[in-house]
Structure 1
Amino acid sequence: MSAGVVSALVVGIVQPLLVVAGAPLLTGLMRQVRARLEGRAGAGIAQPWRDLRKLLLRKETFTPNGTTEVFRLAPLVLVATTLVVSVVVPFVATASPVPPVADLFAVVALLALGTVVLALAGLDTGTAFGGMGASREMTIIALVEPTLLVSIFALSVRVGSTNLSAIVSSTVHDPARVISPVSLLALVALAVVIVAETGRLPVDNPSTHLELTMIHEAMVLEYAGPDLALVELASAMRLTVFLGLFANLFAPWGIATSAAPLALLAGIGAVVVKVGVLGTALAFGEVFLAKLRLFRVPELLAGSFLLSLLAVAASFFLA
């Protein structure tokens, strides 16, 4: 068995384990940063894991009357799609265990599938809150997904491939691309996408249950027990995946390019530090941001889409 195959297999095992174990800790870190900046003690970085344990072991699953299999299977689909993305996207190493699935369009489709299924589950409950949250989520995803595709596509033009591993590898070998106009435009566009896709301020407030403002929480109000634990875990995993992808697209230094054990350990340490720094910066920014009015959110997302289009244009004219 070649070294490349071994590296891909190791990465395929390490990356999902790292995402599953570290995602709740990232959420806890961000909550702790916000608490400290707001003058509170905070519950500790490990509190999300304690919450998940309580939901899994001490709470029962309740299914609203009239719901179908869509409501019951949505948490599993949401976790499964995010888990597949965590396997194929280059976080720890540039080698991917399933290169065809590491394609830009396949990864974005998997992430969009999880969002759509959760929105369908919100509609399936037949409640006003579920329908409202699903409607708002579909409005956001209609603007977010094209921006996500176009902004990363701008980075792929100069590589000649939409494979995420190839895009990251090219930046590793040519670090000057990070400060090019294409990368800077795509960076800003993708940053707005991540904020919107993961339900953070100023697009959504993950800590609110006010009916007039909530989006993600409105879709999951009817979940309880283990199902709610899966939804919360999947949300934390999606945030980790987006921040890890963002970090390695624009700052891939430290990522392993070989199957050497020390290189893989360095890759694990690098992605943990980069995601932790990005999560801390995101939490820091949320303390000083107010939530946008719902009708202003499309303006923000349209602006990010325009930046992604400019990045694509620059990638052709400045190539």
Structure 2
Amino acid sequence: MISRIILNLLQVIVVMAFSPLVKGVLNRLEAMVQSKRGPGILQPYRDIRKLLHKEEVVSEQASWIFRVTPYVVFVTPIFVTLLIPVLTNYPLFFAFMGDMLGGGFILALGGFFATIAAIDTGNPYGPMGASRTRMVGFLAEPVFMIVFFTVSFVAGSTIPYIVQEAWVTPLSNFFEPSHVLVMLAFFMLIIAEAGRLPVDNPSGHFELAMIDESKILEYSGRGAALMKWG
């Protein structure tokens, strides 16, 4: 049991450590698609470090929701990491404490707080980005439900570990047409939910066209670092 708890903690540390790297790789690929040089893949680490050393400025109109939201956005993916096996092919200590639907609810909690915080400050660009984010989420929800019910129906369960075992054991299942189509749908869903091209351009600086980035315009210092990291 102790070894599995250690593996759970190690899994969380690995996900936290490499999540900025994934963002850096995506930013570099987007720059290459646009025929630009783009920033280095380690730039998100530098941005987070710089923000952590800056003073945090909070609007006088902001309530406790604005102050709490960065921590909620940062912590909710960590809880999901405890449920989904990332480094192992066997269930860890918390694997059966929640299913995929529960993980989706946890992630939705972070998105809900981010939306409320964007409206809380009174900045006109925050509510615009929040409403656009909810609209994109509304359009992406049917895709999520199709992916969710497809993998659950094939595996006969909603537990992430059992679903993983059913889809990759034997390995030939991984290349079945239904699996390939579900992976493509899930990939498009990730693009929409993460606010990447062509749905959104995180590197853009035109406030009227921002979606996800406009929700964190009012954050600075540690709050901005946690929002970007989460």
Tell me whether the two structures share a fold, i.e. TM-score over 0.5. yes
RMSD: 1.8
On the 8 A contact 1:105/1:149 being kept in 2, the answer is no
Give the corresponding residue for 2:72. 77
1:90 maps to 2:80: no
Give the corresponding residue for 2:151. 155
User: Hey, what's the Cα distance between the residues in 1 that align with 2:134 and 2:125?
Assistant: 14
User: Hey, what's the Cα distance between the residues in 2 that align with 1:154 and 1:208?
Assistant: 36
User: Hey, what's the Cα distance between the residues in 1 that align with 2:144 and 2:94?
Assistant: 21
- Runs of 5+ unmatched residues, structure 2: none
Q: Which moved more, 1:97-106 or 1:62-71?
A: 97-106
User: Hey, what's the Cα distance between the residues in 2 that align with 1:76 and 1:200?
Assistant: 23
On the 8 A contact 2:85/2:95 being kept in 1, the answer is no
Aligned length: 229
Give the corresponding residue for 2:122. 126
User: Hey, what's the Cα distance between the residues in 2 that align with 1:156 and 1:105?
Assistant: 10
On the 8 A contact 1:171/1:178 being kept in 2, the answer is yes
On the 8 A contact 2:84/2:95 being kept in 1, the answer is no
1:139 maps to 2:135: yes
* Offset, 1:42: 4.2
User: Hey, what's the Cα distance between the residues in 1 that align with 2:74 and 2:145?
Assistant: 22
Q: Secondary structure at the match of 2:209?
A: coil
Report the CA distance shift for 1:27/1:211 in structure 2 as closer, same or farther (over 3 A): same
* Offset, 1:48: 1.3
* Offset, 1:170: 1.6
Q: Secondary structure at the match of 1:15?
A: helix
On the 8 A contact 1:11/1:87 being kept in 2, the answer is no
- 2:58 maps to amino acid: T
- Runs of 5+ unmatched residues, structure 1: 235-319
Q: Deviations over 1:43-73 (max 9, x none)?
A: 422221111111101x111111211111111
Give the corresponding residue for 2:55. 60
Give the corresponding residue for 2:11. 15
User: Hey, what's the Cα distance between the residues in 2 that align with 1:13 and 1:145?
Assistant: 31
Give the corresponding residue for 1:207. 203
- 1:75 maps to amino acid: P
Q: Percent identity?
A: 34
1:113 maps to 2:109: yes
Give the corresponding residue for 2:43. 47
* Offset, 1:155: 1.1
Report the CA distance shift for 1:106/1:13 in structure 2 as closer, same or farther (over 3 A): same
Report the CA distance shift for 1:39/1:150 in structure 2 as closer, same or farther (over 3 A): closer
Q: Which moved more, 1:46-55 or 1:220-229?
A: 46-55
Give the corresponding residue for 1:281. none
User: Hey, what's the Cα distance between the residues in 2 that align with 1:38 and 1:189?
Assistant: 24
Q: TM-score, normalised by structure 2?
A: 0.91
- 1:196 maps to amino acid: A
Q: TM-score, normalised by structure 1?
A: 0.67
